A and B are shown apart, each in its own frame.
Chain A
């Protein structure tokens, strides 16, 4: 006997299914933003169990923090790290081993690709399935602490401990009087140049590595290098960061907004000069720069580009892979101001992380001086701590040592500046600034039009997001 279920019954069944999922979707529990404790971070130092920031690593690991009380079950902590180095997994696992052994805590390191970082963080926060803590980079950090996704840390670190940190990395992690992340990595760039290309272009470079050329001088070099048949500067058009807004423009005294980020200030003579500078530089750049982000460096390494900006890690790559090429070092160019790029890496604790006491203990362990020194030495950057130059790259010679000295001088001397991302900044940069800047650089937009678009749409973005602060 042939059997068929009724079409109408089937349709009703599907409708019931859809309706039930709608109800299920509507029944999302309301969540409350966790309120930070009322004590300000500069109040009396909180008692800490791992206060020996200069103690040897193994001793710092062997602190008295308990494991899961009475349960006998080993606690597992998960740390999200980015691939600052191709061997990041191994570096981190070696670093946490003493901690694991001393505390009977299992630490799982998950290396998240750069391109997945935001997606993973957003998904984890939305679903409340977060790791213990994770790496986050500077200009994206404010998005998360403004959303209430991060745990305030000011009660866990004493004033004495915080005083050892460089000021700017620490202040960037502050929000409404509370500290929301611990910096453990800072980086800046020196100006590297290919001596052979300089010679062919007829340029006599300065001998002092702390020399900073003026913009006019730098542009003159760029044009001579281009005339000699090379590309001048290894800098990509397709920037996915805030780099062109931050680094380059700030050197001309161009500040996109006023100090409290309530008003767009891009229509100033300084900004007009900065825009003109980019337009003048564009013809001297390489073809590849038109489709790449930031500084691809491979053309510089291959001896096709005269100048590039890079830190200690770049210098180390140069020396290892191209020992026969002679590179020189100096400070990046300046105009009205001496401000260079400052990159900061943070560890931030998720508000939904479990086993908070153990998480804080691990965080203190990873950010102690010994571990900051060893981590940054492995990837060619610097700790976010003051007075650590003597411990960083002690065996470096030649161009690596020179770059390290130049970069440290910028970091310790406050020359490097981080542009604090105002609410809506990332979106404005992606949707408006970068595409229009690309059009400008490709000659498809005039400078007055570019400045007008940035000024008006930037102000609109500030106004639209002013309540998000």
Chain B
């Protein structure tokens, strides 16, 4: 008789009425010790560098945390403060806006790049693929500094435009255009990474589908919308979730390119959390912001997974 775990009682030699926790756990551990042994180092690192800091952050968010000395318990005061912190609210909305725009643009361009690269042959395929992918493996800070030299007043773009008699407004000097600089830089940096995932997905689609569609008289656009895109839904879902989370956490580009300015026009939530904690020494409110941000990000990811689950299998 098969148990809920898929293992029959006869297979593990235990009676059907084997004791549950903690006895059951002991049996599992004894049987599966090798599996836990192999994942233990990774779990330890994950616990120390991810779980523990996260839990500690949540803990700190309930205190009026001092750099040194006694930190009195403050309950929900740090969270209540967020309700009246207009800069936090503006930054939150701005972060969501940037995340949505960058995600949509990067995925669209990454998909387009994958389609184009997939159709290439020979050396051109490798050359173009490498050229698009290189920004993804470059140091983000280094890339940002290079872009800064292009975008700043009297930078490469402005001087080149002036050479041709074109007036060029430096993006990083304008509150309206500075967010655009962040978007362009982020999309440029992410397209290659997304392209690789879509390329792998494209190459996994059986050619027979396209051949059959061609026989049936489907145009290339029909094939794209009725074969390619539906069969890439799993890949798209993965890329969407990962890219959204990445773009919620935008920090390096803002830190190195604009510092959050001009006039806070590019201040993102991560940058604001960093400033609140390390420049103003308000670790309690910074932890509260980080907790709220994490809950929202996880919620968005779960919603994406729930509503965009793949419907097509092959």
Contacts and interface: CB of A to CB of B under 8 A. Distances in A.
B66 interface: yes
Interface in B148-206: 152-154, 158, 170, 172-175
Interface stretch (B67-75, B110-118, B303-311): B67-75
B281 A21 contact: no
Contact of B59 (A4, A25, A287): A25
Contact of B55 (A9, A22, A143, A442): A22
Contact of B24 (A9, A351, A426): A9
Interface stretch (B124-132, B222-230, B256-264): B256-264
A435 B70 contact: no
A427 B69 CA distance: 21
Contacts of B56: 25
B5 interface: yes
Interface in A7-34: 7, 9, 12-13, 17-18, 21-22, 24-26, 30-33
A25 B56 CA distance: 5
B35 interface: yes
Contacts of A12: 21, 25
B55 A18 contact: yes
A287 B69 contact: no
Nearest to B148: A291
A13 B25 contact: yes
Given A12-B21, A18-B55, A426-B279, A5 B31 contact: yes
Contact of B25 (A9, A237, A292): A9
A352 to B, nearest CB: 8
Given A3-B7, A143-B281, A291-B153, A149 B68 contact: yes
A148 B175 contact: no
B268 to A, nearest CB: 14
A409 interface: no
Interface in B232-277: 258-259, 261-264, 275, 277
Contacts of B21: 9, 12
Contact of A3 (B24, B32, B69): B32
A6 interface: yes
Given A21-B47, A287-B170, A436 B263 contact: yes
Given A1-B11, A6-B24, A439-B263, A290 B277 contact: no
B52 interface: yes
B280 interface: yes
Given A118-B278, A287-B170, A290-B170, A148 B69 contact: yes
Given A25-B56, A148-B68, A430-B279, A288 B152 contact: yes
Contacts, number: 137
A424 to B, nearest CB: 8
Nearest to A115: B255
Interface in A282-304: 286-293, 299
B70 A5 contact: no
Interface string A416-460: 000000000011001100111011001010000000000000000
A125 interface: yes
Contacts of B282: 427
A33 to B, nearest CB: 4
Nearest to B275: A430
A57 B172 CA distance: 49
Interface string B282-293: 110000000000
Interface in A116-153: 118-119, 122, 125-126, 143-144, 147-149
Nearest to A238: B261
B28 interface: yes
Contact of B153 (A7, A288, A442): A288
A203 interface: no
B259 A238 contact: yes
A126 B67 contact: yes
Most chain A CB inside 10 Å of its own CB: which residue of B152, B278, B280, B281:
B281
B41 interface: no
B263 A435 contact: yes
Contact of A351 (B25, B68, B278, B281): B68
A240 interface: yes
Contact of B278 (A18, A119, A434): A119
Contact of B154 (A287, A293, A435): A287
B37 to A, nearest CB: 12
B217 interface: no
Given A6-B5, A25-B56, A288-B154, A122 B277 contact: yes
Interface in B23-59: 24-25, 28, 31-32, 35, 43, 47, 51-52, 55-56, 59
Contact of B263 (A143, A148, A444): A444
A147 B281 contact: yes
A14 to B, nearest CB: 9
B122 interface: no
Contact of B28 (A9, A24, A33, A439): A9
Contacts of B280: 426-427, 430
A3 B170 contact: no
B59 A286 contact: no
A290 B170 CA distance: 9
Interface of A: 1-7, 9, 12-13, 17-18, 21-22, 24-26, 30-33, 118-119, 122, 125-126, 143-144, 147-149, 237-238, 240, 286-293, 299, 351, 426-427, 430-431, 434-436, 438-439, 442, 444
20 contacts: A1-B11, A3-B7, A4-B5, A17-B43, A21-B51, A22-B55, A24-B52, A25-B52, A31-B69, A33-B70, A118-B279, A119-B278, A143-B281, A238-B259, A287-B158, A288-B152, A289-B153, A290-B153, A291-B261, A439-B263
Interface of B: 5-7, 11, 21, 24-25, 28, 31-32, 35, 43, 47, 51-52, 55-56, 59, 66-70, 87, 152-154, 158, 170, 172-175, 258-259, 261-264, 275, 277-283
The 6 tightest CB contacts between A and B, nearest first, are A290-B173, A287-B153, A288-B153, A33-B69, A5-B32, A427-B280
Given A147-B281, A148-B67, A287-B153, 9 more contacts: A1-B11, A22-B59, A147-B66, A149-B67, A286-B153, A286-B154, A291-B172, A439-B263, A442-B174
